[in-house]
Copies of this chain bind each other. A is one copy, B any other.
């Protein structure tokens, strides 16, 4: 096993200005898996309730995701409900039901503990730490988090940040974590917390990567038909980690190319509801859009 993700599998209720859907497949690890599996096989560690539609697990497996680390627990699957405003940038969480995720602690299957690349998708820092504890000397660990954990579990999160190689944050999270409004200053402040690399995501305005040996800034791929932004960040991470894991390399050039693959993968994600477009996309479409993004952003 080369690439491992720990995170949520969820059922989402999503309202956009144009459409509403209930019981849509969601969760940080789910989006990551569909995104990364285009590049490399992924091992998935997470938990579902007894109400989870097993056809979705079959769909993940059909995409080459190793689901042996998905635990089925008695109770309800994690549920999230949210609404997007017409500008797509304003998201309101309407409801969160942790369900079986509430008291879950991850068990990384023996076959997966030797993963070289590990993505700790958004979850409580205690859950992320417990998963990382079970990994044997991974080459590159990337962490995601959210405002909630920065707010209520800051110390645990800071301890975890010191143990990882990279962290992905959106602009709001980076400001909240560091108290710096300017995003360059915020990114430098995050680096001072320990990781070698920070990826700062700015939604429709693109993303940048900073580290001691690299500084790379990239606009978003221009999407003119956003359908549902849910999972865009996890899809970015999936494209990024999937690419570097397949390349088995983290040199600056590989990281820069991975930023493009992450951006392209996220652009597919937002063009469909839930994982619809991620499921549909294939490596050929990814490569075509990669080349298009390259031509838009370079000479």
Contacts and interface: CB of A to CB of B under 8 A. Distances in A.
B215 A296 contact: yes
Interface residues of A, number: 28
Nearest to A180: B224
A223 B298 contact: no
B217 A297 contact: yes
Given A205-B202, A205-B206, A206-B206, A223 B297 contact: no
B222 A206 contact: no
A206 B219 contact: yes
Interface in A195-241: 202, 205-206, 208, 215-219, 222-224, 226
A105 interface: no
A256 B219 CA distance: 15
A219 B219 contact: yes
A202 B202 CA distance: 13
Interface string A258-299: 000000000000000000000000000000000000011111
A21 interface: no
Contacts of A182: 224, 226
Given A181-B86, A224-B185, A297 B205 contact: no
Contacts of A216: 296-297
A171 to B, nearest CB: 10
A257 interface: yes
Contacts of A102: none
A130 interface: no
A1 interface: no
A159 interface: no
Contact of A219 (B181, B208, B295, B296): B208
A253 B295 CA distance: 11
11 contacts: A86-B181, A182-B224, A184-B223, A205-B206, A208-B219, A215-B222, A215-B296, A217-B296, A256-B299, A297-B298, A298-B299
